[in-house]
């Protein structure tokens, strides 16, 4: 029977089943991860605001953990699907390098590799056949039988002599032997593929629970930090209307850090126009030696409500900045009509 029509061995069927399971797992995991990740948008990080940037970093870290776990599962599944079917020559070289003694004599020490150990020790008679303890012995017998069938030369294989040119029965027997050896060679490669596939599948199965837990934890933390946590912040922490404030610039170093000049040291007046109470956005009024500025980072400065007697914040509106001969645009503070 031609090799293409030979029925698949049990090892080949087992490897195919494991690879089919891994393919299903890849499809299911990728679809689930895509659906969950699609519902979570990085734009949700804006809800945290600058005052809670540490939570934003934690949210990004959680998303990275979730995606890393998902990609790790996919990688392990791909390793199962792509488990190789080693050619017989590769297995022969591994066998010879792992305490093999062919063709000098029998093997004295068992191989260290679990793959070679199963092929030439645990399943030696089943795969290699009687009288053989090395993969090289199988390939050498096959090569000898094939050459004898082609040339008609007289050969001896495993103690039996074949003379295909002189004896018709020997020619028939040699053909049968060649077919059997070819099947055994195929079975050895099938067994090696099954062993490598099982090894990758066990690794995937052993890590799957941990990766799933990491994925779900990362997704939960990201969702909580970007969706649920911002809604738990008190509304009073957000600046929703202009507020008159005094900005205390305690030193020249604090002024430099805020992007102000030396003439701005002291107390400035201004309007808090956005941000939060912890991280306000403030527009200062100009004074001698200190042009107006828009401060998005007030770290190092002290921002307090304006002293009594100043204009009410509800009577003011901040108009777009205009130039007053200086490099920095100055915003205009104009009383509202009817104030």
Q: Does 176 share its domain with 317?
A: no
Domain that holds residue 254: 243-335
Q: What single-letter DSSP state applies at residue 120?
A: I
For the chain, the domain total comes to: 2
The H or E element that residue 149 is part of is helix 135-151
According to DSSP, the residues that pair with 316 across neighbouring strands are 335
Q: Does 303 share its domain with 217?
A: no
Q: Does 185 share its domain with 320?
A: no
Whole-model pTM above 0.85? Answer: no
Q: Does 180 share its domain with 275?
A: no
**Contact criterion met (CB below 8 Å) for 36 and 214:** no
Tell whether the torsion through CA atoms of 175, 176, 178 and 183 is positive or negative.
Answer: positive
Please compute, for residue 81, the number of CA atoms within 13 A of its CA located in the half-sphere on the CB side. Answer: 14
Tell whether the torsion through CA atoms of 255, 260, 266 and 271 is positive or negative.
Answer: negative
Q: Does 59 share its domain with 12?
A: yes
Cα–Cα distance, 101 to 108 (Å, whole number) = 8
Instruction: Please check whether residue 238 lies inside any domain of the structure.
Output: no
Q: Does 169 share its domain with 266?
A: no
Instruction: Please check whether residue 188 lies inside any domain of the structure.
Output: yes
| Structural domain ending residue among the three candidates 205, 232, 259 | 232
Q: Does 179 share its domain with 327?
A: no
DSSP 50-100: GGGHHHHHHHHHHHHHHHHHHHHHHHHHHHHHT-----HHHHHHHHHHTT-
Cα–Cα distance, 305 to 239 (Å, whole number) = 13
pLDDT for 27 equals 82
Q: Does 24 share its domain with 167?
A: yes
Instruction: Please check whether residue 227 lies inside any domain of the structure.
Output: yes
- Kindly give the confidence (pLDDT) of every residue in the chain, 339 residues in length, as a single tens digit, with 9 standing for 90 and above: 444 467 889 999 999 999 999 988 888 777 777 776 666 655 555 555 555 667 777 877 888 888 888 888 888 898 999 999 999 999 999 999 998 888 888 888 999 999 999 999 999 999 999 999 999 999 999 999 999 999 999 999 999 999 999 999 999 999 999 999 999 999 999 999 999 999 999 998 888 888 888 888 888 887 777 766 555 555 546 777 888 888 888 888 888 888 888 888 888 888 888 777 777 888 888 888 899 888 876 667 888 887 665 444 343 333 344 344 444 444 444 343 433
Q: What is the pLDDT of residues 249-298, one digit of tens each?
A: 888 888 888 888 888 888 888 888 877 777 788 888 888 889 988 887 66
Q: Which two tokens stand for residue 84?
A: 């190789």
Q: What is the pLDDT of residues 24-66, one digit of tens each?
A: 888 877 777 777 666 665 555 555 555 566 777 787 788 888 8
Instruction: Please check whether residue 237 lies inside any domain of the structure.
Output: no
The H or E element that residue 271 is part of is strand 266-275
Q: Does 225 share its domain with 78?
A: yes
């Amino acid at each position: 029977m031609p090799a293409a029509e030979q029925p698949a061995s049990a090892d080949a069927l087992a490897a195919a089943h494991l690879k089919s399971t891994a393919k299903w797992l890849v499809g299911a995991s990728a679809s689930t991860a895509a659906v969950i990740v699609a519902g979570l948008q990085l734009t949700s990080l804006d809800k945290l605001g600058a005052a809670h940037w540490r939570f934003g970093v934690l949210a990004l870290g959680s998303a990275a953990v979730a995606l890393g776990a998902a990609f790790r599962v996919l990688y392990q599944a791909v390793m199962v699907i792509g488990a190789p079917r080693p050619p017989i020559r590769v297995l022969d070289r591994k066998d010879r390098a792992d305490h093999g003694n062919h063709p000098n004599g029998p093997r004295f020490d068992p191989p260290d590799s679990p793959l070679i150990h199963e092929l030439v020790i645990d399943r030696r008679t089943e795969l290699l056949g009687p009288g053989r303890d090395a993969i090289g012995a199988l390939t050498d017998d096959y090569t000898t039988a094939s050459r004898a069938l082609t040339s008609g030369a007289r050969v001896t294989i495993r103690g039996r002599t074949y003379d295909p040119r002189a004896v018709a029965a020997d020619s028939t027997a040699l053909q049968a032997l060649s077919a059997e050896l070819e099947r055994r060679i195929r079975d050895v490669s099938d067994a090696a593929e099954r062993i490598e596939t099982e090894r990758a599948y066990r690794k995937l199965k052993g890590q799957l629970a941990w990766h799933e837990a990491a994925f779900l934890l990362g997704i939960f933390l990201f969702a909580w930090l970007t969706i649920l946590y911002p809604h738990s912040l008190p509304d009073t922490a957000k600046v929703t209307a202009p507020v008159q404030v005094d900005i205390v610039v305690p030193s020249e170093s604090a002024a430099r850090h805020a992007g102000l000049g030396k003439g701005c040291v002291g107390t400035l007046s201004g309007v808090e126009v956005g941000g939060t109470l912890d991280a306000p956005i403030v527009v200062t009024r100009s004074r001698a030696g200190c042009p107006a500025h828009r401060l998005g980072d007030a770290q190092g400065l002290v921002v307090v409500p304006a002293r009594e007697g100043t204009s009410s914040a509800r009577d003011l509106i901040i108009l777009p900045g205009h130039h007053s001969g200086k490099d920095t645009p100055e915003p205009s503070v104009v009383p509202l009509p009817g104030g």
